[in-house]
Amino acid sequence: MEFQNPARTLMLAESFGVLSTISVDLPGYPFGSLTPYCLDRMCRPIVYISPIAQHTRNIVADRRVSLTVLERVASGDVQAHGRVTYIANALHVSDDRDIHERYFRYFPASRQYDRTHAFEFFRLEPVRIRFIGGFGQIFWMEPREFASENPFSAEEETGIVKHMNRDHANVLRRLVKAETATMAGLDSEGFDVLTGDTKVRISFPTRVTNMEEARSAFIELARHVSK
């Protein structure tokens, strides 16, 4: 699919990465911890972390971070598969309900932290991105090369998600070959379905830029799995 950027495709497909911060306790040394993320409407990672966590304390002291995301593999040489190192500045996000609600759709269990543990959202503003896709496919890219604006507003995306989960749950289950399937979000390149705690990425055949194109893409996918 010519519209896809391999680094962005990998970031869209996965849900967890190693968030590396600059240690407060051991000044100058990196500190890495496994962290879930989802992407905002400009394809920037959003993390939701506790103020008492070590990496949050580090970010407050020094906002320079990196997020390393690995392609999921069942077996084999992990170095033969894709990985992205997303170098960024972590910026606190306070009153953005779109980011909050989108994150909670991707990680429903985390909604309870909003009420009990005062977790906080941070957006990772890119500085530079490094992609390794295997032998011979290694390159750096600038933020403008990685960015991709979601063509759907928060209201449009919420409407599509609710419609698909309410009226086309059987199609979603067939697409991901699972007994349970819940759409979490979509963008110009595809959409994400949760099966339990696992996210499955479904790519559109071509980029969509509006509601009508998205509708046509869903119809085509439904026709394909119904055969």
Tell me if 126 is assigned to some domain. Answer: yes
Separation of alpha carbons 172 and 29, rounded Å: 45
Is pLDDT at 135 greater than 70 in this prediction?
A: no
Tell me if 1 is assigned to some domain. Answer: no
Average pLDDT over residues 131-146: 89
Average pLDDT over residues 12-41: 97
Tokens describing residue 158: 């919420």
- What dihedral do alpha carbons 219, 12, 109, 184 form, nearest 10°? -20
Same domain, 102 and 201: no
Same domain, 77 and 142: yes
Same domain, 116 and 173: no
Q: What average pLDDT is seen over the chain?
A: 92
Tell me if 81 is assigned to some domain. Answer: yes
Indicate the pLDDT class of residue 2, thresholds 50, 70 and 90. very low
Same domain, 214 and 106: no
Separation of alpha carbons 35 and 43, rounded Å: 17
Q: Domain of 90?
A: 6-146
Tell me if 162 is assigned to some domain. Answer: yes
Same domain, 40 and 116: yes
| Per-residue model confidence (pLDDT) at position 3 | 58
Which of 57-61, 113-117, 215-219 is predicted least confidently? 113-117
Contacts of 24 (CB under 8 A, 6+ apart): 54, 57, 58, 61
Tell me if 135 is assigned to some domain. Answer: yes
pTM of the model: 0.92
Tell me if 202 is assigned to some domain. Answer: yes
Q: Are 194 and 181 in contact (CB under 8 A)?
A: yes
Same domain, 96 and 53: yes
Q: What is the pLDDT of residues 182-222, one digit of tens each?
A: 999 999 999 999 998 899 999 998 999 999 999 999 999 98
Same domain, 164 and 71: no
Task: Using alpha carbons, list the distances in angstroms from residue 154 to 33, 53, 147, 167, 195.
Answer: 30, 30, 18, 20, 23
Separation of alpha carbons 151 and 107, rounded Å: 22
Split into its structural domains, the chain has a count of 2
Same domain, 87 and 18: yes
Same domain, 164 and 123: no
Tell me if 168 is assigned to some domain. Answer: yes
Average pLDDT over residues 155-178: 95
DSSP letter at 167 equals H
Domain limit, last residue, from 123, 146, 169: 146
Domain limit, last residue, from 103, 125, 146: 146
Is pLDDT at 1 greater than 60 in this prediction?
A: no
* CATH at 215: 3.20.180.10
Encode burial over 149-180: b for 16+ CB neighbours within 10 A, e otherwise.
Answer: ebbbeeeebbebbeebeeebeebbbbbbeeee
Separation of alpha carbons 84 and 129, rounded Å: 7
Q: How does strand 83-93 pair with strand 138-141?
A: unpaired
Same domain, 139 and 68: yes
Same domain, 57 and 101: yes
Same domain, 34 and 80: yes
Tell me if 166 is assigned to some domain. Answer: yes
| Per-residue model confidence (pLDDT) at position 9 | 94
| Per-residue model confidence (pLDDT) at position 76 | 67
More confident residue, 213 or 135: 213
